Each structure stands twice: as C-alpha cells, then as structure tokens.
Structure 1
Amino acid sequence: MKSFDALGLSPGLVQSVSLLGFETPTPIQEKAIPVLLKGSRDFVGLAQTGTGKTAAFGLPLLELIDVDNKNTQALVLAPTRELGMQITSDLETFSEKFKSFNIVAVYGGASISEQIRKIKRGAHIIVATPGRLIDLIERKTINLGTIKYIVLDEADEMLNMGFKEDIDKILSFTPEDKSTWLFSATMPREVRAIMKNYMTDPFELSVGESHTGNANIEHRYVMVQEREKYMALKRILDFNPDIFGLIFCRTRIDTQRVAEMLMKDGYNADSLHGDLNQQQRDRVMMKFRERSLQILVATDVAARGIDVEDITHVIHLNMPDEMEFYTHRSGRTARAGKKGISIAMVSRQELGKVKQIERSMKSPMKRMMVPTGAEVCQKQLIALMKKVREVKVNETEIEAFLPAVYEELNDLTKNDLIKRFASIEFNRFLDYYRNAPDLNGDRRSTSTEGSYERSDRGDRGDRDRGDRGDRSERSERPARSSGGTRFFINLGKMDGLDKSRMLEIIDEHTGLEKRDIGQIDLMGAYSFFEVEKHLSDKVLKGFTGAEVEGRQVRVEITESRGGGAQGGRSSGPSSEPTRERKRFVPGNKGTSGGSNGGGDRFHRKRR
C-alpha cells in the first residue's frame, strides 16, 4: 500500500490530508490519482459510495489548477445540493495547507444573486447541481468556455434523477479539448452513452465488481409480515441501543408517517423527503450530521448525496425496485473504511428481491431473526451496564453529595444495589415486552398467530393501553371515510399551520365554503383534507400553480380513509413517487415494538 506522498502530490496537499487523519490512500485513490495528475486523458472510475472518490478526483484537481489564472478552470457536477456542499467543503479542506483557491458552490434553494457575485469575483472551481447551473448559463452569468476539467460525480445518480438533458446541455458549452472525469457507483447503459458521446479513449478503472457493493457492509434481511414491519422495526432499533441509522421508505408519505410514529413512540427520529422546503431540509441534516438526531427516515430521492460519517445501520423498510437504489442506499454506511450493516425488511412475497440482490452482489445475504422481547431486554440491560462502567465521574462536584447517598443506601448489599439499579431500566422493558409475540414472517404455528391477534386487541401491557386511550394521538390518525374525496397537501404543522389557517388556505385557492370541507388531519410536513366528491376538480384546478409564502403547493387525490384508492390525479410539482402503498397503521404501534424502551439512551424522550 502506497502513501499519499508516493502518489506524486505536492507536500502541501499531503500535509492537509495527513492533518485529516488519512495515512494511506484507499484503492480508488491509489489507482486514480497518478492517472489524473497527468491531466491529459479522460477518465472513468467505477467505485461504490464511501470509498473516497472525492479525494480521488479532488486532490489531482487542486494540483492541476493554476491559482494565478482567475478564469474558471474546473467544473464539478453533483446530483444534489448536499453532495455539492460536501465536495466544496472537502476541496477547501484539502487545499488548506496548499494554495488559496476560490471554490464556489452553486445549487438550488439558495440565493442565486449571491452565487452570481461569488462567480464574478473569480472562481477557480465551480461545484454545481445541474439545474442551478443551467439557470446561470441561461442568465449568461457564467462562462464555461475556459473549463479545462469537468468532473461528473455520481453520474448514475444524476441520470436516475432525470438530469440527462441538463448534462448534455452543460457539456455543449464546454471546450472540446477539456478532460472529462466520470465517477459512478454503477454502470448502466445511460452512463455508457455519456462515455461514448463525450469522452475520447477514457482510462477506465473499476475498484470492485459492478454491484458487488462495499466489502465492509454486512448485508442482512429479516422476513416479516407486511402489517408488522413497523413493529419489527422498533424491535431492531431497541436491539441496537447505539444505532446511528438511516431508514428508507418508498414514498414521501410513508417516510413522514413512519418518522412521526417513531417520534411519538419516544425515538429521536426525523424525516427527509421532497415535501420539505430547503430550510427544513438543512435543519434536519444539520441535526443528523451533529448526531443530535439518531434516526433519519428518508426517501431515495431525498437521501441522494447524503455523506454523513459513522452511520452504523441502513434499514430498508421497503425494498427498492432497482438494484442500483439498493447499492446507493447501503453505501451510506461503512464509509471511509469503516464497517456497517444493511438490513432489508421483506415479506414472503419479496424474497425474490433478496435473491436478485444476492445474484448481483455474488454473495449471500444473511438472514437475521427479529429479536424476541427477552433478547431486547437483555441487550438493553447490558447497554445500561456498559454506560455505568464508562460514565465519567466528576469527583470534585459529587463529593459533597455522596455522604447522604451512602446513608440512604447503607442497608443494601452490593448485590441488592446492583439488582435494584438494573431494575430501574429493566422493569420498563420487561413490562413492555412481556408476552411479546414472534414477528418473524415464516412462523407457522396457529397458536402463535392467535396470540398475536389477541395481543393486538388488548394484551399489550399497561403502557400501550394508555397509548390507545390517548386522544391527542388518536386525533392524528385518519378516521373512517365520510364518503368524500380525500386530498394530500404538502403543508403541515412544520409550516406553522393550524386547522383554521389550513381552512383559509383551501378557501383562498378553491373558493369553497367552509361547509364544503370535511375532516382535516394536520401532520408534520403534510396534511390531509376531505371535500365532497363533486368538488374534486375544483380543488385540483384551484391549487394548480399555487404558492403559500413562496412555497409551491402540491395537492393530489389520495386513498380514501376507508382504504380504497381514488386515483392519482394531482396539482402542483412532483419530484418523487407519491403512490400510497399499504400503510403502517399507528394503531398497531404497541403490539410488540418497544416504544418507550431504550433506557436512558440519548435518543429517547423520557415519559
């Protein structure tokens, strides 16, 4: 294994990398950097996310840029704002002990005028998302005619997100003699087409086989009935007290719903999906990066570009339709040489997807069982004991209080003290998980099934019976259908709305009277409302192109509250699939999950 200084990098770049704690290059860095430093050849790098691709192209790029030339010499295209910001930050960090570059990030959701000012001051390197860059090109505020190097990072992701036409247009504004460097985790035919159309005899480098994934990721799956997935999810979370995890759902509605259910059940969770505005996205991502948020529930589209260190688990609550999505999801863990776990939650009908993934990765996925209640209790108890052992004792400040503590406990033996201390936490879990049913999807015993049904109807333990009687929680759930048409709207409590303000918004845009509007269910980032069926078209027409406080509003017909789909017509923009699949019903949440377990972990709220 070579060191960074053996790759031909300048001492300043090597020093910056060393200060970041990196001593030896990753395989993609070791093989790509010497080739890219020559700066004279197109390049294609095939490697999984989390393998160090940013440094693989970033370090040679900084080496090749002429800092005395104020023209824009390099362009890096990234699929998402988050990835673009991460690349910009990395390039600035890499160059800290080297030279002073002007690196400008341009992306949507931020002030375009401020970005234009930065570019006009002179940008050696521009890191951009395709949409915002097209906007700048059309405004004639950016000149790509001086570009010497263009990097297409996560090219497969950009194409999956529908940026092919934008990429074609952007490349048409760049010089013929530029060098094009393309990095991708997978190599679908669309990426091959870019290579054929825009690259000349590229140097192709593949680190690992296509679709094999990161060798540091342990791929597991659990088999569970569809209606019990949420309960099984809570078991898995409770069985991993120190989890720092990313949970994937298929639709934005399921993403928000699962996150809200987890929050109600005491977990430190939040959601990331297309119905959040940029300020909300930034707030959620900042909490997640700082680890003040422990569980992030996301859609595939919203999670693209997430580059957060030390994610321990990726959980697929719904399996993706494409293998590429599974690869990208799982690649959010085990980054920078660390290890991670990917857990797919599948029903019996989805076992075929497990086989498909195994064939693509050329290795088996390990089946794991949904933990039993007793296993969760034991794991949580051991986690508590580990905290006791590792807690930092403030000898100076606690000393004055210890005599009173010793006096209070002087009649207890060492063993009694340990048992009582452990029971403070253990009793809560034991009460909750006592008689918890088996959730593994291939259970065949009719008595097991029967005990599950009985448990679902009332044998839940004291805490969950209390949950069922909580009117404030029940008010968040859809009631039985009144026969009207049910609409989804991408506005909710996170926008500062209450029901009266929601009524006003519906009235303002549709002209309906308040008596025409039925039940309103306000959620976090979205809501539901009902109107009489004959007024449906009026609602859709009224919200077409609508904005509320500068935010585009999307309204669409969704499932009736009785469960029947009412079609898929919509009004407003859409960047992600919005079909409503089988729902996770909040009323099932206490059957077995472990809602208020977890001890004194930092991700739990105390009740």
Structure 2
Amino acid sequence: MKSFESLGLSRGLVESVQQIGFETPTPIQEKAIPVLLNGNRDFVGLAQTGTGKTAAFGLPLLELVDDRSRDTQALVLAPTRELGLQIASDLENFSEKFKSFNIVAVYGGSSISEQIRKVKKGAQIIVATPGRLIDLIDRKAINLNTIKYVVLDEADEMLNMGFKDDLDKILSFTPDDKATWLFSATMPREVRAIMKNYMSDPFELTVGEQNTGNVNIEHNYVIVQENNRYPALKRILDYNPDIFGLIFCRTRIDTQKIAEMLMKDGYNADSLHGDLTQQQRDRVMMKFRQRALQILVATDVAARGIDVEDITHVIHLNIPDEMEFYTHRSGRTARAGKKGVSIAMISKRELGKVKQIEKTLKSPFKRMMIPTGADVCQKQLLALMHRVREVKVNEDEIAEFLPAIEAELKDVSKQELIKRFASIEFNRFLDYYRNAPDLNVEGKRGSSSEGGEERYSTGSRFFINLGKMDGIDVSKMLELIDDHAGVSKKDIGKIDLKGAYSFFEVEPSRAEEIVSGLNGIEYKGRQVRVEITEQKQSGGSRGRSSGGRSDRGKSSSGRNSGGGGRSRSSNQKGKWR
C-alpha cells in the first residue's frame, strides 16, 4: 500500500496530512495525485462522495500554487456554502506545515464587502459558490485572468442545482490555457457537456465502477402506507437509540413540519432548508457537527455538500425521483471507509423504483421490516443496560454518597433493584408501544399497489406550461403546487417533466384548488397556465374534461375508504401529512 510521500508530495504536505490523521491515501487520492502534480493537463475524476476527493485535488493544488505571488492562481467552485467552507478549511489544514497561503472562501449569506477586502489583499486560492462569485465578477472586484487551475467539485450537484449558466459565465472569464479539474460522483450528460466545451483531452479516472454505490453503505427499504410514514419513522428512530442521522424530505414545508413534530415528540432534532437565514443555517450545522443534534431533517438542496463525520443513518422519508439525488443523499453516510445505513421509506407502488436504483447502483437492497412495539422496547432496554455496564464510575466522588444510597435501598433485593432501575427509563416506551399496531405492508417485490395505497387510481391529470427549460425539477414542482394551491405531495401523483411543459396527477378532490391556485401566477416572469387534461375513472375508461373542475372528488375508491393499519396507540402524536 502506497504512502502519501510516495505519491510525490513535499515533506511539509505529508507531515500536515499525517498530523490531521491521514495515514494512507484512498484510491482516488492514490491515482489522482500523481497525475495532477504534473499540472499541465485537464482532469476528470469520478468517485462517490466520502472517498477523499478534497485531498485528491487539494494537495496537488497546494503543491503547484506559488505562495510568493499575490495573484489568484487557483479557483475551486463548490455547490454550497457548507462545502465551500469545508474545502477552504481542509486546504488551510493541509498547508499548515508547508506554505503560507491566503485562502479566501467566497459565498452568499455573508458580507460581500468583507470578502472583497480579503480577495484584494491577495488571495492565491479562492473557494467560491457560483452565485456569489458572479456577484464579484459583476462588481469587477475579482480578477480571474491569472487563474492557472480551476477545480469543479461536485460538478453534478452544481448542475442539478441550476448553476449551468453561472458556470458558463465564470469559465468564460478564465484563461484558455488554464488546467480544469472536474470531480463528480455521477456523470450525467450535462457534466459531459462541460467536459466537451471547456476541457481538452482530459485524463479520465473512475474509482469504482461508474454509478456503483459505496460498498460500505447497507441499502434497506421499508414498505409503509402513506398515513403511517411518520409513526414508522419514529419506530425506526426508537429502534436505533444511538442513531446520528439525516432524514431527507422533498420540500421545505415537509422538512420543517417533520422536524417540528419530532421535537414536539421529544427527539433531539432540527431542520435545514432553504427558508432559513444564513445565521440559522450556521447555527443548525454547528449543533449537528458538534453532535448536539442527533437528527437533522433536510431538503436535498439544503443538504448539498454536508460533510459531517460518523453519520450512521440516512433515512429517505420519500424516495427521490432522480437517481443522482439518492446517490448524494446516501453518500452522506459511510464516509472515509466507515459503515453506514440508508433506509428508503416507500409505498408498494414504488417497488419498481427501488429495483431500478438497485440495478443502477449495482448494490443490493434489502427489505427491512418496520420494528414492532415489542422490538423497540427490547432494543431500548438492552441499550439502557449497555449504558449501565459501560458507564464510568468516579469512585472517589461517589464514595461519600454511597452510605445514604445503601441505606435507602437496604430493603430492596438485587433482582427488584434491577427491575426498578430499568423501569425508570423503560416505562415510557412500554406505555407508548403497548398495543401498537404492525405498520408493515404486505407485498412482494414488483407487485402492484392495491387498496388505499394506490393513491392515483382515480387521479386527475393536469397540463402546466412549465418544464425543464424553466429550471423546474420534481421537488420544485411539488413546492410550487403546495405553496400556491395548498395541495401537499400526498395528493400528488406522477410528475412528467418535459422541456417547455409538464404533466402531473392529483387526487380528484383537489382539482379545483389546483386550477384556482396556479392559473395566472407568475414563475420567473412567466405566467402559469394549468389545464385538466384527463381523469382516470375507477372502471379504467378515460375522458376529457372541458374545464378545470373535478366532480369526482368523492369517489368510492378515495384515500379514506377502508384503511387497515390506521389505528394507533393512544399516546401516538401527530399523523404525518
């Protein structure tokens, strides 16, 4: 196994990474660093998140940049503020025993005048988010003519977040003879387009098979009815008392709602989404990094670039519609060679999507049963006993209190003492889960949905004059419908995105709200037009509607008919909607 020194790095850099705790290079570092140290060729590195990409490009960058010059020589672009700050911090740590660099992080949400001042002092390396860098370019506050190296980190994430035009503009201000290094977890056609337009004969390196998942992630899924998602989520959390995890939701509204419900139910949780101010985001992330939070509920966009060590679980409250989103979500765990668990909560109708992700990732998915009340109680009791066994006893300080304790308990037998001690913590779980129903949904992989789980058997299909060209993706469409029509995702079915328009399905009872809520609003300067195009009748026939009103809102096969598994224990709070 190679060492960092054998890769051609200077002694000072090797000492810095050893001081941080890096002993041997990861596969991406071992293969990329010798190539990048030449500094004279474009480079494309494809590797999953958590494999050490920052050191793979950061160490060669520090080796090549001249610390004696005040010119800006290297530009690192990252999709989010959090990732940008993490990269800048890592570069500073890497160079601690090597050279003295002025590394400036440029990002939104902080004083732009202060960032301009730091840049003008002479920043050899700038780490930036695209939006804020565009602001500096427009103000003529930054000179990119001296750039020798451009690094596009998490390129697929930047494109997924809609930064294509910003990237095009930024790269147009950099010299033609620069070296461009692109790192990505996936390689969609948009990333290929950047390679074609801005790179010349790049060295391409793939670590691990393309589109394969991190082998250290255990991929699981649970099948649950829509109205039982939140109770099932709590079961999973309670069954893993030592969890340090991320929960992903599709929309900001759901993220905030789930976090508030968890906090109300006594969980150490908080939310991260786009409606938070930068100060609020910083506070939440600091608490999560310091493990003052046990659970962070986040949207895909808000969680981009989160690099927090030792995350044990990633829970997908809704399985994402885009393959890349699942890859990035699950990649928040099992970083730096550690193990992690990804759990997707799905309906029976989404089994095909799980199979598709499994095939693409080339990683097996295992069905996990939602723990029963008895399972949770047993796991919590054993966890309590483990903490008792492992607790550190301060013999000197507790000694003076022991006589009084022993006197208080002198009439209690050892067996009775054990039972009473366990019950102090354990009774609340026994009370909560007494008579708790089984939340698992029967069904084999690939089977079709039945009964109440088939949400769209009587759905209405809508046309909307917004599509991919408007920057709309599935999560943005869900938010748009929720924000303006008040229709939550539980009532929204399949979304089919086209270039200039899209189609989506909605529960018939909400059709009038869709038409009245969305028609005539503006989205990015474009007036929205919505029409109902089709209604699926329970008998299978289809018919066109002349207007936007659905008169079948109370179909006998609606969501509230039937409904096994809806009963809950009396203490259970807050049905998730």
TM-score class, shorter-chain normalisation, is 0.7 to 0.9
2:486 aligned residue (536, 558, 561): 558
Deviation at 1:557, TM superposition (A): 4.2
The CA distance in 2 between the partners of 1:224 and 1:210, in whole Å, is 31
Give matches, 1:160-171, under 5 Å. Answer: 160-171=160-171
User: 1:369 is matched with which residue?
Assistant: 369
Deviation at 1:397, TM superposition (A): 2.1
**Are the equivalent residues in 2 in contact too, given 1:231–1:593 (CA < 8 A)?**
no
Letter in 1 for 2:302: A
For the residue of structure 2 that corresponds to 1:298, the secondary structure is strand
Give matches, 1:338-349, under 5 Å. Answer: 338-349=338-349
**Are the equivalent residues in 2 in contact too, given 1:370–1:440 (CA < 8 A)?**
yes
User: 2:54 is matched with which residue?
Assistant: 54
The CA distance in 1 between the partners of 2:11 and 2:90, in whole Å, is 18
Indicate how the Cα distance of structure 1 residues 231 and 593 shifts in structure 2: closer, same or farther if over 3 A, else same. Answer: farther
User: 1:284 is matched with which residue?
Assistant: 284
Give matches, 1:344-363, under 5 Å. Answer: 344-363=344-363
User: 1:20 is matched with which residue?
Assistant: 20
For the residue of structure 1 that corresponds to 2:301, the secondary structure is helix
Deviation at 1:361, TM superposition (A): 1.3
**Are the equivalent residues in 2 in contact too, given 1:234–1:595 (CA < 8 A)?**
no
Indicate how the Cα distance of structure 1 residues 390 and 18 shifts in structure 2: closer, same or farther if over 3 A, else same. Answer: same
Asked whether 1:591 is paired with 2:537, we answer no
**Are the equivalent residues in 1 in contact too, given 2:224–2:348 (CA < 8 A)?**
yes
The CA distance in 2 between the partners of 1:65 and 1:417, in whole Å, is 67
User: 2:29 is matched with which residue?
Assistant: 29
User: 1:462 is matched with which residue?
Assistant: none
The CA distance in 1 between the partners of 2:18 and 2:416, in whole Å, is 51
The CA distance in 1 between the partners of 2:132 and 2:88, in whole Å, is 16
Indicate how the Cα distance of structure 1 residues 592 and 164 shifts in structure 2: closer, same or farther if over 3 A, else same. Answer: farther
**Are the equivalent residues in 2 in contact too, given 1:235–1:592 (CA < 8 A)?**
no
Letter in 2 for 1:113: S
For the residue of structure 1 that corresponds to 2:141, the secondary structure is coil
**Are the equivalent residues in 2 in contact too, given 1:49–1:332 (CA < 8 A)?**
yes
**Are the equivalent residues in 1 in contact too, given 2:308–2:332 (CA < 8 A)?**
yes
The CA distance in 2 between the partners of 1:555 and 1:432, in whole Å, is 35
**Are the equivalent residues in 1 in contact too, given 2:235–2:370 (CA < 8 A)?**
yes
User: 1:315 is matched with which residue?
Assistant: 315
**Are the equivalent residues in 2 in contact too, given 1:239–1:380 (CA < 8 A)?**
yes
User: 1:268 is matched with which residue?
Assistant: 268
Indicate how the Cα distance of structure 1 residues 383 and 344 shifts in structure 2: closer, same or farther if over 3 A, else same. Answer: same
The CA distance in 1 between the partners of 2:279 and 2:524, in whole Å, is 18
The CA distance in 2 between the partners of 1:593 and 1:106, in whole Å, is 52
The CA distance in 2 between the partners of 1:178 and 1:330, in whole Å, is 34
The CA distance in 1 between the partners of 2:43 and 2:134, in whole Å, is 24
User: 1:158 is matched with which residue?
Assistant: 158
Q: So what's the TM-score if we normalise by structure 1?
A: 0.76
Deviation at 1:592, TM superposition (A): 5.4
For the residue of structure 2 that corresponds to 1:301, the secondary structure is coil
The number of residue pairs the alignment matches comes to: 477
User: 1:93 is matched with which residue?
Assistant: 93
User: 1:218 is matched with which residue?
Assistant: 218
The CA distance in 1 between the partners of 2:37 and 2:426, in whole Å, is 59
Letter in 1 for 2:236: I
Encode CA deviations 1:189-231: one digit per residue, 9 max, x unaligned. 0000110111111000001122211111010001111110111
For the residue of structure 2 that corresponds to 1:41, the secondary structure is coil
User: 1:449 is matched with which residue?
Assistant: none
User: 2:45 is matched with which residue?
Assistant: 45
User: 2:173 is matched with which residue?
Assistant: 173
Letter in 1 for 2:55: A
Indicate how the Cα distance of structure 1 residues 590 and 69 shifts in structure 2: closer, same or farther if over 3 A, else same. Answer: farther
Deviation at 1:555, TM superposition (A): 7.0
Gaps of 5+ in 1: 445-539, 541-553, 575-581, 597-607
User: 2:441 is matched with which residue?
Assistant: 441
Give matches, 1:510-521, under 5 Å. Answer: none
The CA distance in 2 between the partners of 1:94 and 1:172, in whole Å, is 30
User: 1:119 is matched with which residue?
Assistant: 119
The CA distance in 2 between the partners of 1:394 and 1:90, in whole Å, is 38
User: 2:252 is matched with which residue?
Assistant: 252
User: 1:80 is matched with which residue?
Assistant: 80
The CA distance in 2 between the partners of 1:108 and 1:61, in whole Å, is 24
The CA distance in 1 between the partners of 2:87 and 2:153, in whole Å, is 10
Encode CA deviations 1:413-468: one digit per residue, 9 max, x unaligned. 22221122112222221121111111011179xxxxxxxxxxxxxxxxxxxxxxxx
The CA distance in 2 between the partners of 1:391 and 1:10, in whole Å, is 45
User: 1:515 is matched with which residue?
Assistant: none
Deviation at 1:559, TM superposition (A): 3.6
Give matches, 1:568-579, under 5 Å. Answer: 568-569=517-518
**Are the equivalent residues in 2 in contact too, given 1:234–1:593 (CA < 8 A)?**
no
User: 1:304 is matched with which residue?
Assistant: 304
Gaps of 5+ in 2: 445-479, 492-506, 526-557, 560-564
**Are the equivalent residues in 1 in contact too, given 2:149–2:178 (CA < 8 A)?**
yes
Letter in 1 for 2:367: R
For the residue of structure 2 that corresponds to 1:302, the secondary structure is coil
Deviation at 1:590, TM superposition (A): 9.3
Asked whether 1:6 is paired with 2:6, we answer yes
Asked whether 1:336 is paired with 2:301, we answer no
Deviation at 1:272, TM superposition (A): 0.8
Letter in 2 for 1:280: Q
The CA distance in 1 between the partners of 2:265 and 2:172, in whole Å, is 52
The CA distance in 1 between the partners of 2:211 and 2:264, in whole Å, is 37
Letter in 2 for 1:34: P
For the residue of structure 2 that corresponds to 1:336, the secondary structure is helix
For the residue of structure 2 that corresponds to 1:54, the secondary structure is helix
Q: So what's the TM-score if we normalise by structure 2?
A: 0.79
Give matches, 1:460-479, under 5 Å. Answer: none
The CA distance in 2 between the partners of 1:122 and 1:363, in whole Å, is 47
* Greater displacement, 412-421 / 135-144: 412-421
Asked whether 1:209 is paired with 2:209, we answer yes
CA RMSD, Structure 1 to Structure 2 (Å): 2.4
The CA distance in 1 between the partners of 2:12 and 2:566, in whole Å, is 55
**Are the equivalent residues in 2 in contact too, given 1:266–1:595 (CA < 8 A)?**
no
For the residue of structure 2 that corresponds to 1:400, the secondary structure is helix
Indicate how the Cα distance of structure 1 residues 321 and 315 shifts in structure 2: closer, same or farther if over 3 A, else same. Answer: same
**Are the equivalent residues in 1 in contact too, given 2:260–2:270 (CA < 8 A)?**
yes
